[in-house]
């Protein structure tokens, strides 16, 4: 059944991580890339996302994030084409006006042997305001009085900790609602819930990630038993 996973990360090594997301270079051998794309690139990038990430690493302030990333589980109930439509919807809602790069990965689960489709969405915080700037200026400090003389304003700027927390909660709900919409329009009764297990009133602990090494060490019977128990606890909640 569909399960909800939404994770936000940030980092400085943007170009290397973009290679991982797009399965470029060393990462080509993974062979689990379904589709990839990008958008809202500044003109000076030549529509090459790697140029953006390289510039972000060079010109973004040293203690600032060169990129942010959302990692979102995609429902196995949907076909590849249906999940691609879901991803297009998610990207439009999560990255309006932001330079972005995304990919769908579908590695095979080491436990159940089933595809595990999920979205990686990398974004820059620097929102397009219609002013063309060279790379070094785009990532400089925003000038409120004379925007053309400063950098692009950051979507994450000017918020306190409570506002950031509320934004994350709202984004989680937006993602869950979008997933549920696509499940519904494609004829599935399954749904996901963005709330924590405690908020849902579930009387169990979150599943512990076993990791590939732990799974490889399990016998076939142990895998069957683990999957069966996991299915029972999910049914109790849903």
**DSSP string of the chain, one letter each residue:** -----EEEEEES-HHHHHHHHHT-GGGGGG--EEEEEEE---GGGTT-HHHHHHHHHHHS-TTS-SEEEEEEE--TTS-HHHHHHHHHHHHHHH-TTS-EEEEEE-PBPTTT-SB--EEEEEE-SB---S----HHHHTS---SS-GGGS-PPBTTTT--HHHHHHHHHHHHHHHHHHHHHHHHHTT-------S-HHHHT--SPPPPP--HHHHHTS-HHHHHHHHHHHHHHHHHH-
Q: Is 20 a catalytic residue?
A: yes
What are the catalytic residues?
A: 20
């Amino acid at each position: 059944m569909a399960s909800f996973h939404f994770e936000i990360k940030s980092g400085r090594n943007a170009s290397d991580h973009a290679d991982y997301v797009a399965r470029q270079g060393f990462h080509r051998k993974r062979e689990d890339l379904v589709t990839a794309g990008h958008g809202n690139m500044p003109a000076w990038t030549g529509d090459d996302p790697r140029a953006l990430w390289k510039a972000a690493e060079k010109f973004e302030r040293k203690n600032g994030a060169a990129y942010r990333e959302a990692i979102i589980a995609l429902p196995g109930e949907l076909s590849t084409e249906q999940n691609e439509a879901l991803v297009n919807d998610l990207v439009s809602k999560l990255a309006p006006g932001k330079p972005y790069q995304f990919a769908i990965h579908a590695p095979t689960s080491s436990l159940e042997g089933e595809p595990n489709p999920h979205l990686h969405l990398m974004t820059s915080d620097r929102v397009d305001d219609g002013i063309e700037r060279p790379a070094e200026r785009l990532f400089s400090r925003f000038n409120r009085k004379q925007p053309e003389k400063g950098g692009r304003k950051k979507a994450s700027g000017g918020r306190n900790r409570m506002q950031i927390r509320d934004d994350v909660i709202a984004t989680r709900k937006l993602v869950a609602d979008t997933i549920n919409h696509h499940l519904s329009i494609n004829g599935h009764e399954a749904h996901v819930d963005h709330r924590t297990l405690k908020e849902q009133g579930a009387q169990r602990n979150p599943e512990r990630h076993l990791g590939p090494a732990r799974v490889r060490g399990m016998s076939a019977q142990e895998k069957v038993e683990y999957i069966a128990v996991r299915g029972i606890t999910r049914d109790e909640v849903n």
